[in-house]
Each structure stands twice: as C-alpha cells, then as structure tokens.
Amino acid sequence: MVRVRGGFCRLVAGIAVILSFALPASARQITAEERREADLFVLGNTLFILYHELGHALIDLLGLPVLGHEEDAADNLASIMMIPDEPDPVMDELIVAAADGWYLGNLRQQEAGNAAPSWWGEHALDMQRFYSVVCLMYGSDPAGFAELADSVNLPADRRTSCAGDYLQARASWGRLLGPHLLPAETRADRRSVVALQLDPLTSSHGYVASLLHESGLIEAVARDIGTGFKLPRDLTVRFHDCGGGNANAFYESRSATVTVCYELAAFYNELIMTDIARRH
C-alpha cells in the first residue's frame, strides 16, 4: 500500500514486516528484538540504496540537470523519499537505520585499518553521508528529531542550516520531477514501466533475499516509480546474486537497469549483527 504526498511517492505509515520463513541458526542466538532491529537495518539501508540508484536512473532517463556531484544529489533524493512527511515510527526507524549504515561502515573501515579517507572518490565519505542524512532528518522536523541530533552530537551551528537544506533538497527534486509525474487519478490503471526481477529464493543469501521479498518494500517502490512517472523507456530493477562477494548496487544506462546485489543486503546484515555482538 502506498501514498502520494507533496508530489512524491511514499511508502505508507506503519509498514508491517511479516516474516513467514524460518530464521537461520545464527539468528536464533539473538533476541527477537535484536532480530527485528537487524531486519529493519537491512531493509532501511537496502531501501536507501535502491532509491539512490533510482535517482541515477531518473537523472539519466529524464535528462535531469544536476548542479554539483550526482552522487550527492542521489543521496538527497533517497533521504527525502524516506523521511516521512508526518511522524511515522516505522519509516523513522528505516531512515535512522540508513544513516547508521554509513556510521557503521566507517567504523568497519577503521577497524580494518583503512582509516585513510579516499579524498578522490566520487562518493562523499561515509561520515559525511551519515551526517547529511541526519541533518536532513533534523531539518524536516527539528523538534521530532532533536534527540537524534543530540545523540550524534550534531553541532548547534550546523543545525541552523538543516531546515534550509531539507527544504532546498525537497523543492529542487520536486521541481525537476514535477513535470514528469503522472496525475494520481491515472495511476491505478496504468501499466508499470518498471520491471521488477527478484531472483528465486534458492539464493545463497536466502535469509536477506527472503526478508526483501516478504517485506513488500521493493515491490512498492517499483510500483510507485513505474506507475507514477512518464519514463521514455522501460526500467528494470533487479535483485540477484552478483557473485564473487560483490556487495554492490549500480545503474546501467545502456540497459536502463538498476541492479542491487543480495551480497549488499547480506553485508548490511553482517554489519548490524557485528554491532549487536559488540554491545554484549
């Protein structure tokens, strides 16, 4: 079930993630609350990355102008698509999890001895991406996310610009995407131009693959994009085993395909499970 607010397609409040499959042996060693935390972490980070790659796809297919780094623009789209317009505990947890993903990813690099930043990289550094998401969240609702800002020591002088950053990101993407949105009343009967390919659950990453399937989030996003926009050609969103431990996601312009590797979702699962274990 989806809703449309402010010109953007949004996932409905109170998403229920119902897992009807057996947990792996490793999952039985943690509490039900910790397993829920881990599942939301995997879903939140995967959803953020999916929106990020769809941002690249929309920029390419719709010929959208980008001022600055395209990677930053795609991150901003992912953030504003996930930040709820109104208080929504589940969506709040998902976007907080996405921010935490950058924080824990940076921690993982430090623990592995990769402390030297890749200043030449096309992406912002993980901690910059972490604080960017937090700032946009705070800017969307300073009162509601004040505790979050306090917990990550977001400086007071930075907080003063977060509301403007959020409004600017929302307005900029709204202006770019607005001309390509279809009227809400025409979407119900429209054929989706997004073909979703979820590989069978024989995947070697069966748990996270099943989690993504059962959550319904991926289907909801694909349906929203596929029926909500006037795209010049069909777009494919594919989730599958990429092989070789390739924890990645990417957009290919020639085939108009967004690919998310199950290995990436498995990486997020391992990242949060390590963090849970660290607390004990």
For residue 6, is it within any domain?
Answer: no
Tell me, what's the pLDDT at 189? 75
Residue 80 has pLDDT above 90, yes or no: yes
Contacts of 55 (CB under 8 A, 6+ apart): 73, 74, 75, 77, 78
pLDDT average, residue stretch 16-21: 39
Specify the number of domains making up the chain: 1
For residue 1, is it within any domain?
Answer: no
Q: Is 9 helix (H, G, I), strand (E, B) or coil?
A: strand
DSSP 173-199: HHHHHGGGBPPGGGSTTSPPSEEEEE-
Where b means 16+ CB within 10 Å and e means fewer, 5-31 reads eeebbbbeeebeeeeeeeeeeebeebe
Mind listing the pLDDT tens digit for each residue in 124-178? Answer: 788 999 999 999 999 999 999 999 999 999 999 999 999 999 999 999 999 999 9
Tell me, what's the pLDDT at 280? 80
Q: Give φ, ψ of 250 to 5 degrees.
A: -160, 160
For residue 21, is it within any domain?
Answer: no
Q: What is the pTM of this model?
A: 0.88
For residue 252, is it within any domain?
Answer: yes
For residue 10, is it within any domain?
Answer: no
Lowest mean pLDDT among 30-34, 105-109, 110-114, 155-159: 110-114
For residue 19, is it within any domain?
Answer: no
Residue 5 has pLDDT above 70, yes or no: no
pLDDT average, residue stretch 92-111: 92
Structural domain span for residue 95 = 31-279
235-240 and 194-198 beta bridge pairing: parallel
For residue 141, is it within any domain?
Answer: yes
Share of residues in the chain with pLDDT > 90 (%): 70
Please give the Cα distance from 196 to 69 (Å, whole number). Answer: 28
pLDDT band at 203 (very low <50, low <70, confident <90, very high): low
For residue 15, is it within any domain?
Answer: no
